[in-house]
Amino acid sequence: MAKYNPFGQIPIKNREWPDKVITKAPAWCSVDLRDGNQALAIPMNVEQKLAFFDMLVKIGFKEIEVGFPSASQTEYDFTRRLIEENHIPNDVTIQVLCQCREHLVKKTMECIKGAPKAIFHIYNSTSPSQRKYTFNMTKDEITKIAVDGVELVKKYIPLAEGVPIQLEYSPESFSNTEVEYAVEICEAVQKAWKPTADNKIIFNLPSTVEYATANIFADQIEYFCKHISHRENVIVSLHAHNDRGTGVASTELGILAGAQRVEGTLFGNGERTGNLDIVTTALNMYTQGIDTGLDFSNLPEITRKYTEFTDMEVPPRQPYAGALTFTAFSGSHQDAIRKGMTARKSMAEDAPWDVPYIPIDPHDIGREYEEIIRINSQSGKGGAAWILEQDYGIFLPKAMHPTLGKVVTEAADRLQRELSSEEIYQLFLDTWINTTSPLKILDIAENYLGGDKVQSRASISWNGNVISIGSTGNGPLDAFVSALGNTPVPHFSVSSFYEHAIGAGTGTEAIACSEITLDDGRKYWGCGRSTNIGQAGVNSIVSAVNRISDI
Q: Where does residue 496 rank: exposed (0-12), middle (13-18), buried (19+ CB within 10 A)?
A: middle
pLDDT reported for residue 369: 60
Which of 278, 310, 342 delimits the end of a domain? Answer: 310
**Inside any domain, residue 11:** no
State how beta strands 165-172 and 118-125 pair.
Answer: parallel
The H or E element containing residue 337 is: helix 331-344
Shared domain check, 514 and 448: yes
Alpha carbons 498 and 476: distance in angstroms, whole number: 15
Shared domain check, 153 and 68: yes
State how beta strands 261-264 and 439-450 pair.
Answer: unpaired
Which of 310, 342, 359 delimits the end of a domain? Answer: 310
Alpha carbons 218 and 6: distance in angstroms, whole number: 17
Shared domain check, 139 and 278: yes
User: What average pLDDT does the chain have?
Assistant: 94
Number of domains in the chain: 3
Neighbours of 95 (CB within 10 A): 24
Which of 365, 393, 425 delimits the end of a domain? Answer: 425
Of 35, 106, 43, nearest in space to 70 by CA: 106
CATH code where residue 474 lies: 3.30.160.270
Shared domain check, 100 and 216: yes
Of 211, 190, 207, nearest in space to 257 by CA: 207
Sign, CA dihedral 97-102-104-109, equals positive
Shared domain check, 85 and 171: yes
Count of alpha carbons within 13 angstroms of residue 270, beta-carbon side: 27
pLDDT(58) > 90 = yes
**Inside any domain, residue 551:** no
Shared domain check, 186 and 120: yes
**Inside any domain, residue 447:** yes
Q: At what angle do helices 533-545 and 476-484 cross, to 10 degrees?
A: 30
Alpha carbons 278 and 269: distance in angstroms, whole number: 10
Reported as a single tens digit per residue, the pLDDT across 294-316 is 999 999 999 999 999 999 999 99
- Coil, helix or strand at residue 525: strand
Reported as a single tens digit per residue, the pLDDT across 317-362 is 999 999 999 888 887 888 888 899 889 999 998 899 999 999 999 9
Sign, CA dihedral 399-404-405-407, equals positive
**Inside any domain, residue 126:** yes
**Inside any domain, residue 434:** no
Of all residues in the chain, what percent carry a pLDDT higher than 70? 97
Q: What are phi and psi of 386, to 5 degrees?
A: -60, -45
Q: Which of 12-21, 244-253, 346-355, 504-513 has the lowest mean pLDDT?
A: 504-513
- pTM beyond 0.85: no
Shared domain check, 215 and 304: yes
Q: Which of 4-18, 27-41, 321-335, 352-366 has the lowest mean pLDDT?
A: 321-335
Neighbours of 365 (CB within 10 A): 22
Alpha carbons 482 and 299: distance in angstroms, whole number: 58
Shared domain check, 40 and 161: yes
Residue type, 66: V
Shared domain check, 212 and 94: yes
Shared domain check, 474 and 350: no
CATH code where residue 117 lies: 3.20.20.70
**Inside any domain, residue 1:** no
Cα separations in angstroms, 111 against 78, 114, 131, 309: 10, 9, 31, 24
Alpha carbons 223 and 228: distance in angstroms, whole number: 9
Residue 370: band (very low, low, confident or very high) from pLDDT cuts 50, 70, 90: low
Q: Which of 109-123, 373-387, 470-484 has the lowest mean pLDDT?
A: 373-387
Shared domain check, 538 and 418: no
Pair 315, 324: CB distance under 8 Å: no
- Coil, helix or strand at residue 469: strand
**Inside any domain, residue 323:** no
Pair 101, 124: CB distance under 8 Å: no
Pair 542, 550: CB distance under 8 Å: no
**Inside any domain, residue 271:** yes
pLDDT reported for residue 332: 83
Pair 446, 474: CB distance under 8 Å: no
pLDDT(415) > 80 = yes
pLDDT reported for residue 331: 76
pLDDT reported for residue 149: 98
Reported as a single tens digit per residue, the pLDDT across 109-143 is 999 999 999 999 999 999 999 999 999 999 999 99
Cα separations in angstroms, 67 against 36, 93, 301, 440: 10, 13, 24, 74
Domain range holding 452?
A: 439-545
- Coil, helix or strand at residue 157: helix
Q: At what angle do helices 331-344 and 401-415 cross, to 10 degrees?
A: 130
Close Cβ partners of 298 (under 8 Å, ≥ 6 residues apart): 365, 366
Shared domain check, 165 and 64: yes
Of all residues in the chain, what percent carry a pLDDT higher than 90? 86
